[in-house]
Amino acid sequence: MSEQPLRICILGGGFGGLYTALRLSQFPWTNGHCPEIILIDQRDRFLFTPLLYELITEEMQSWEISPPFEELLADTGIRFHQGCVTSINVETQQIELDNRHSLPYDKLVLAMGGKTPLDNISGAKDYAIPFRSLQDAYRIKERLRLLEVAQAEKIRIAVVGGGYSGVELACKLADRLGETGRIRLVERGTDILSNSPEFNRQTAQDALEKRRVWIDLETEVTEINSDHLSLRYKGQIDTIPVDLVLWTVGTQVLDWVKNLPLKHNEQGLITVNPELQVIDHPEIYALGDLADCQDATGQEIPRTAQAAFQQSDYCAWNLWASITQRPLLPFRYQALGEMLALGIDNATLNGLGMELNGPLAYLTRRLIYLYRLPTLKHQLNVGLSWMVQPLVEWLSD
């Protein structure tokens, strides 16, 4: 009887999980003993989140930024299982799926990301839409369509959060709605993009002002209703009319992840060593939004797509190394800069000695993200689509 291959289960098909699986499948395996690699996600599609904003303005199509896992994993030997993880028994090394199906593992990767917290503000869960998933983008587009069809004189939108997501979303909405849009960006801090380089922050500020986006700094949301929003500024509460509230603030660890018998920090993030292994459980790796990670230099790792992208390479190597008796590599994070879309055909870019804005930054951002799409086949399909699209639009004029 042949020996059962070692099984690696990867939970979560975002940047951390999918890219770990793809990289892992490319390593050479001693004596041909390739492990069984299973990728598990509750959705059937990957989402390239940095390009999600382009769906709002219809600069891109959903297939370009959200290809099916089955398509991406074809010919890789990786199995995809669509299901919702409900718990993990770390003692017996069993994953519980949808409260009815159990899956054993030898090695485990936790990369499920987090969720947008909507429970802390009255009415947020009922009336605010987060901007995190493909379904969120579809909901926003449908609400915008209904508002546009109604031919309202003004479409009033509040975007809560002046970080990367809020600023990019506000600019895209302003460009889509034009003179009809009344966009308000609500930020509780003293500035937008508080962690960004000065060049990007100032470029974003200029882009928002050009688009007449109203910026409320040092302002907190106290309540959200179907047609109005209550804001607190310097102790005074004002209520303003609103047609749509978009929530871009915060990332929260999934409840069942917080309850796992593993070491967590005060925010509920799972603590890992620089090799991305969970403390006291070297068979479990964690990365991305749910991991409390310091790299080999002691640097606290930001919970961004860029960081998860880099962690996936190290995670895949360390899984392979742990199985083939090779030395593990401590993660070393490289801050490569940041890019923000600031409307249609407009962006800002700061990194690797470059400072760009405007259409050139937009094109550079597009090309960098094209290169980072998960497979060569998908890169070619999307690149071809981008080249053909201007010709199609020209012929249709």
Bridging pattern class, strands 101-104 and 94-97: antiparallel
Q: Which among 28, 33, 41 has a CA at the least distance from the CA of 5?
A: 33
- Average pLDDT value for the chain: 93
- Does residue 315 have a pLDDT over 90? yes
pLDDT digits (tens, 9 = 90+) for 340-353: 999 999 999 998 78
> In terms of CATH, what superfamily is 124-247?
FAD/NAD(P)-binding domain (3.50.50.60)
CATH fold of 7-42+83-115+252-323 reads: FAD/NAD(P)-binding domain (3.50.50)
Q: What is the pLDDT of residue 1?
A: 37
Residue 269, pLDDT score:
94
Tens digits of per-residue pLDDT, 283-294? 999 999 999 999
| pLDDT above 60 for 324 | yes
Nearest to 36 by CA among 13, 4, 71, 81: 4
CA 28 to chain centroid: 30
The answer to whether 133 and 271 have CB atoms below 8 angstroms apart is no
pLDDT reported for residue 395: 62
Residue 32, pLDDT score: 63
pLDDT of residue 393: 65
364-373 LR contacts (CB < 8 Å, sep 24+): 364/339, 365/339, 365/341, 368/339, 369/48, 369/50, 369/51, 372/48, 372/309, 373/48
Tokens 């390009």 appear where? 51
Instruction: Determine the average pLDDT of the residues in 3-25.
Output: 94
The answer on pLDDT for 397 being more than 70 is no
Instruction: Summarize pLDDT for 78-127 with one digit per residue, the tens.
Output: 999 999 998 999 999 999 998 678 899 999 999 998 888 888 899 999 99
Across residues 297-318, what is the average pLDDT?
Answer: 94
Structural domain boundaries of the chain?
7-42+83-115+252-323, 124-247, 338-396
Tell me the whole-structure pTM to 2 decimals: 0.93
**81 with 43: CB under 8 angstroms?**
no
Q: What is the CA radius of gyration of the chain?
A: 22
Residues 6+ apart with CB under 8 A from 158: 184, 186, 229, 240, 242, 244, 245, 246
Is 261 within 8 Å of 270 (Cβ atoms)?
no
**The tokens 């099984």 sit on which residue?**
7
Choose among 309, 339, 303: nearest CA to 113. Answer: 303
Residue whose pair of structure tokens reads 């070692």 in the numeric block: 6
Query: What pLDDT digit, counting tens, does each position of 232-276 carry?
Result: 999 999 999 999 999 999 888 888 899 999 999 998 999 999 999
CB atoms within 10 A of CB 156: 20
- Distance from CA of residue 44 to its chain's centroid? 16
DSSP assignment, residue 317? H
d(CA 104, CA 88): 10
Place of tokens 């600023």: 167
Give the sign of the dihedral formed by CA 121, CA 125, CA 131, CA 132. positive
Q: How confident is the model at residue 164 (pLDDT cuts 50, 70, 90)?
A: very high
- Amino acid 278: pLDDT: 97
Q: Which two tokens stand for residue 214?
A: 């109203």
